[in-house]
Amino acid sequence: MKETRILMGMPVTVYIVDGSSTQRDIDAVFNYFTYIDEKFSTYKDTSEITNINKGLLSPEEWSMDMKTVFDLSKKTKEETFGYFDILNNHQHYDPSGLVKGWAIRNAANLLRNAGFKNFYIEAGGDIQVEGNSDKGSAWKVGIKNPFKVSEIIKVIYLKKNEGIATSGSYERGDHIYNPKNNKQRLVDIVSLTVIGRDVYEADRFATAAFAMQKEGIQFIETMSGLEGYTIDSKGTATMTSGFKEYTRPIA
């Protein structure tokens, strides 16, 4: 079964290859993403994160999921030398650079716990795969040309339970910033894709690496379990040493 809905302001696709799937299984995943949107959306006046930013909730009143996301964000900030920070301009919290990948990973766990072994979940270009595709082979994912988004410039073959995430400004505008210099426009790098052992790892480090701009791909190179591919403003691509392995079909 395969279905796409607009949630969290983006297309979300759930594709369960296993023949035992039902509409209830698909709905369970979409219901979870709806819950995440209601809790973490900075665009919803009634969300928990909005109420935190308004000063209406003390840390003692935060939900367990909110506390978890704040803890993970603090850990990511430390791991990225401060290039990931959910406190924008020292005023408002916005954990979206981490929440999407975290939510996709949790949704994948819902399907795993239900016994499914072959599926694909995508939210706004960030993807988690499990097992094999409907063709019985590795899942194929395309990287878009940031200068012509209708064009795929690289095809990636993911392993059985990996995730991939791309950060950039070419579709959503300037939504990522450098926490160390809020006034810096991030224009040198236009797209940065990260493959990780799951989409949560890929997403959070892709966000931080994009904020690093030219140094971002070197940072990904130093991180165990991550591979990256970046495109600069002149159209030049740079990849980490192990990325090329993902451009060949997996036997």
- CATH (domain of 77): 3.10.520.10
Beta bridge partners of 14: 3, 121
Half-sphere exposure in the Cβ direction for 172 (13 Å, CA):
12
* pLDDT in the model for residue 108: 98
The pair of three-digit structure tokens given for residue 75, joined into one six-digit string: 């850990």
* pLDDT in the model for residue 248: 87
Q: CB 78: neighbour CB atoms within 10 A?
A: 10
Q: What share of the chain is helix, strand, coil (3-state, %, to 5)?
A: 35, 25, 35
Contact 248, 138 (CB under 8 A): no
Provide block-wise average pLDDT over 10 residues at a time, the chain (251 residues). 94 96 97 97 96 96 98 98 90 94 98 97 96 94 93 93 88 62 77 97 96 96 97 95 91 60
The whole-angstrom separation of Cα 111 and Cα 21 is: 10
**Residue 133 buriedness (CB in 10 A; 0-12 / 13-18 / 19+):** middle
The pair of three-digit structure tokens given for residue 209, joined into one six-digit string: 């690496």
The whole-angstrom separation of Cα 234 and Cα 229 is: 15
The whole-angstrom separation of Cα 151 and Cα 9 is: 23
Alpha helices in the chain (DSSP H): 23-40, 48-53, 64-79, 96-113, 199-212, 216-222
| The amino acid at 67 | K
The pair of three-digit structure tokens given for residue 233, joined into one six-digit string: 């403003």
b/e map 163-199, b = 16+ CB within 10 Å: bbbbbbbeeeeeebbbbeeeeeebeebbbbbbbbebb
Alpha helices in 14-81 (DSSP H): 23-40, 48-53, 64-79
Number of domain units in the chain: 1
> Any idea how long the chain is?
251
Interacting residues of 214 by C-beta distance below 8 A, sequence separation 6+: 188, 189, 232
Determine the structural domain holding residue 74 and report its residue range. 2-247
The whole-angstrom separation of Cα 8 and Cα 154 is: 27
The pair of three-digit structure tokens given for residue 112, joined into one six-digit string: 């795993």
